[in-house]
Amino acid sequence: MEQVSANPIANRTPDLDLVVPFDPEAGSRRLLPWRRSPFPAPWSQWFGAEAPLHLEIGFGDGRFTVRRAAEHPEEHFVGIEVSSVSVRRALQKVRSGNHENVRLIKAGAQMAVRQLFAPRSLQSVTVNFPDPWPKDRHEDKRLLRVPFLTLLADRLVEYGEIRLATDHPEYLAFSEEQVQASGYYRIEHRDAPQAVFETKYATKWKDQGKPLHYRVFVRNDQPAPSQPPIERPAIMPHTLLTGTLPTSLSFEKRVSAHGDAHVILH
């Protein structure tokens, strides 16, 4: 079998061109088609004005999001969630309340934060009752770990805040350890806004008699490493092969480690 070329430009064909057109109407939508957005996203253009920008990660059914938006109509709020059911419920609340200062995103937090937010663009990041991943072997799945805290340190303004509410004392202790290890925040004990404890999960845990905890991690003035958005390729790198397939051929899954990431070949 002959390899024509490993150069993606040399092998460029129209059907393999993966340029994603930007959606000029994206900013008018409450649920953003973020994959068709410029990176980072033009939030002030989409909202129609400059204003403090706040992010909520894991907004559940959206009741906390829309309450904040209603109480602070002069500020802008973006919510990230991975659950389709939660997105649908929150979107209904945003639309029925006609909250012009809210945008929702269905995506993973790490990808969305890196791709959609510019350095020093966020005033605050709210994380209400994240999945604690309580088993030790799942520790690397927890959200507030040093790598993500470092990314947020680049995206937050000086003295911007990460606001955490949790019912899980072990997760709270883990988060505080990670915050201290990152070196970019100081920990403050504050009384939680009443609305935090009226969210779906907070109500559930209170009914079960579980204690609820609240912490604020305040960004200090230590410079954080730059983490620009991952560049969107105009063409998917590829190689074209020509020839006759062998009579016996098998493809097996392979996993290769590259630094902190993995390449998986199926």
Q: Which residues are catalytic?
A: 131
Spatial contact of 125 and 161, defined as CB atoms under 8 Å apart: yes
CA pair distance 130, 60, nearest whole angstrom: 10
Strand boundaries in 53-155, DSSP class E:
53-57, 76-81, 102-106, 122-128
Beta-sheet pairing, 185-188 with 213-219: antiparallel
Q: What letter does residue 266 receive in the DSSP assignment?
A: -
Nearest to 124 by CA among 90, 77, 82: 77
Spatial contact of 121 and 94, defined as CB atoms under 8 Å apart: no
Nearest to 133 by CA among 181, 85, 168, 179: 168
